[in-house]
Amino acid sequence: MARKNQDEELELFDDETEVEELPPREQGRKFDPLRGDHGPLKHLVDSNFLQYASYVICDRAIPALEDGLKPVQRRILHALKEKDDGRFIKVANIVGHTMQYHPHGDASIADALVTLTNKRYLIEGQGNFGNIYTGDRAAASRYIECRLTKLAREELFNKELTEWIPSYDGRNKEPVSLPAKLPLMLMLGADGIAVGLSTSILPHNFIELLEAQIEILKEKKRSPVELNLLPDFQTGGLMDVSEYNKGNGKVKLRAKIESRKNNRIVITELPYGVTTDTLMASIEDAVKKKKVPVRQIDDFTAGKVEIELTLSQGASQEKAIQALYAFTKCENSVSSRLICLRENRPVEMTVDEVLRENTRQLLRILERELELKKAKLLDEFHNKTLVQIFVENRIYKRIEECETLEAVFKAIYDGLRPFRKQLKREIVDADIEMLLGVRIKRISLFDINKNRKEIEGIVAELEQVEKDLKGLVAYATRYLKRLIKEYKDEYPRLTVATGFQEVEVRELTATELQIRQDENGFIGTAVKGETILECSSLDKLLVVFNDGKYLVVPPPDKLFVDGNLNRCEVFDREKPYTCVYTDQRITYLKRFKIGGAIMNREYYMSQGDKSKLQLLADGTPEAIYVKYHPAKGQRINQQKFRPEGIAVKGVKSRGNRMTTKGIKYIGTEPGRWWDKDEAEAPDGVLL
């Protein structure tokens, strides 16, 4: 049977797919997978891939601009609202209820709920929801409880303004988006990896967002304002936003470190994305590599971060703090790329653009709420006025002798006709049915004065609603100011924005390593002998041999030089040198810069391994003094050469011809071998 179904599918493909015949000139060619037609299977894969990509982008990974939520977050909040009675509810119950709307497993729902709870704004938790400082996980969902916060309960939901669609199985209705009056996407932040794109939205301070929205609302009366919206993280710390670029750049973050007595420093706040465990592991690793002068680490973190570091004896607190920023996770950077769904399509936006759109949405929602309230007040005014007219004028007496329902309706219509001017809309059959539903007890106990006062209150409310609708911007401003006043103390800024001075890592580690040389012809950090150089582990070293050979190497543990070492120093590709070497009995002088070099590869400053390096000097010496070997008939035994006129070239250049005489002594200063009493010889000529 299965085989038959497969055959039918193949026949269906054959029927529906038109195979294009190749031109005669291309029929004998080899199939090209990049240009040839792959047939129905390719179209099937392409279609399925596009459907999957669209699903991941729109229904899983990317938040919506309209309410700032991902689908799982929206469904969790909707489930919480349906279950909300003001008391805490088992998280497991909410997870189970959310599964009516979310087509994925309970673990993903529980994780998303815990994450939302730890962001404080929308869900209040009771029990162990993990620790954002230590990275400890939350307890199982059957042991913890949650409920909506007052902020979420009052500002996110309105059934009458919500658009509903069937859930994935068609048994329930779920919201397309929540009518959120808050800029949730910037409040909460978001991370998501979809097919072909990802988003990273950093959280911002709630109160600062509201204050910025007030500035946006005032723009109608003045020129557009420059919004200075900066991220704010629950873990606190310090941040440098010079490269934030309005949500599409990066932020550098640092832990807050305080100096204490007895040579101790304490980490009190963490950079975003770093836990105490990962931070301590990075510090321990830096201590092992002798990059940070710490001899003891104590973690006292509970409700707040407190990692106490005891420094090595004689260590500077200031330098230790700089080393922590340079070599541990006390400093890190977080990239930000604001991609969201606008009208179910992914778009890249800036923080300013998102907040302006949120502000426009706030105005739309407030206007719809006012219109809804106006309609309800009008209905209430209409009903109370009808009841008052119905009772005061004893219109109910007219129906006592009516024999049919049509006659009852006509009698009431006729009785109400003289009072139509007191109403704000026409009377309909539903109004008559409402009046017929008034109980006799209510008629007998009807309080005319109380009813008139209620009507007057409704009229006053209607006037205020009309006023608010005409002055919608002022109404929205008052709404935002009320939120700021109510929540300002609850949500202060936690992360301090400041500029960072770059840590000079090489300065901190300039004497980190000691290069020694022993009697067996070895140099390196693991060699016992005389120290010839102090350097950083970040440095590259230039090792020069007496035959002109040189290497560029990282600081070696042990390198054999066989007593043939000319010099070992920190490599600087732009440093100028003056070199004198002899090749095939001819001595040359040249000035050069080494430039680039491949690590651990052999190069020559001279012309090959048969050359001899006579002199290698830094920069350009004022003069080079040369003493020649004595020779029969030789009238000039010593000379002075001035290299400043020689052009600086590459290290591979041959240089200028200096002499063909054998050199006995050479130096940049006249040594004891220089004969001052000898008649002064003419300066040497460089050819």
Active site residues: 143
175 Cβ contact list (under 8 Å, min separation 6): 74, 78, 162, 163, 164, 165
3-state SS of 332-360 is EEEECECEEEECCEEEECCHHHHHHHHHH
User: Phi and psi of 567, rounded to 5°?
Assistant: -160, 155
Percentages of the chain per state (helix, strand, coil), in multiples of 5:
35, 20, 40
CA torsion sign, 350 to 356 to 359 to 361? negative
Task: Report how far residue 75's alpha carbon sits from residue 327's, in angstroms, rounded to the nearest whole number.
Answer: 43
Which stretches of 422-489 are DSSP H helices? 429-436, 440-444, 448-470, 472-487
Task: Report how far residue 332's alpha carbon sits from residue 325's, in angstroms, rounded to the nearest whole number.
Answer: 8
Residue from 567, 646, 654, 647 nearest 605 by CA: 654
Task: Report how far residue 489's alpha carbon sits from residue 207's, in angstroms, rounded to the nearest whole number.
Answer: 9
Task: Report how far residue 426's alpha carbon sits from residue 100's, in angstroms, rounded to the nearest whole number.
Answer: 44
Given the structure tokens 């240089």, which residue do they identify? 655
Terminal Cα-to-Cα distance of the chain (whole angstroms): 96
321 Cβ contact list (under 8 Å, min separation 6): 257, 259, 265
Max Cα separation, the chain?
A: 158
183 Cβ contact list (under 8 Å, min separation 6): 68, 209, 213, 354, 355, 358
Task: Report how far residue 165's alpha carbon sits from residue 171's, in angstroms, rounded to the nearest whole number.
Answer: 11
Sequence length of the chain is 687
**Do residues 265 and 259 lie in contact, with contact meaning Cβ atoms separated by under 8 Å?**
yes
3-state SS of 306-320 is CEEEEECCCCCHHHH
Task: Report how far residue 285's alpha carbon sits from residue 537's, in angstroms, rounded to the nearest whole number.
Answer: 15
Q: Which two tokens stand for residue 544?
A: 């020069």
17 Cβ contact list (under 8 Å, min separation 6): 39, 40
Q: What's the DSSP call for residue 139?
A: P
Q: What's the DSSP call for residue 627?
A: E
Q: Which two tokens stand for residue 485?
A: 């006043």
153 Cβ contact list (under 8 Å, min separation 6): 81, 84
Q: Which two tokens stand for residue 123?
A: 């869900």
Task: Report how far residue 170's alpha carbon sits from residue 662's, in angstroms, rounded to the nearest whole number.
Answer: 100
Residue from 543, 636, 640, 525 nearest 589 by CA: 640
User: Phi and psi of 388, rounded to 5°?
Assistant: -65, -45
**Do residues 580 and 666 lie in contact, with contact meaning Cβ atoms separated by under 8 Å?**
yes
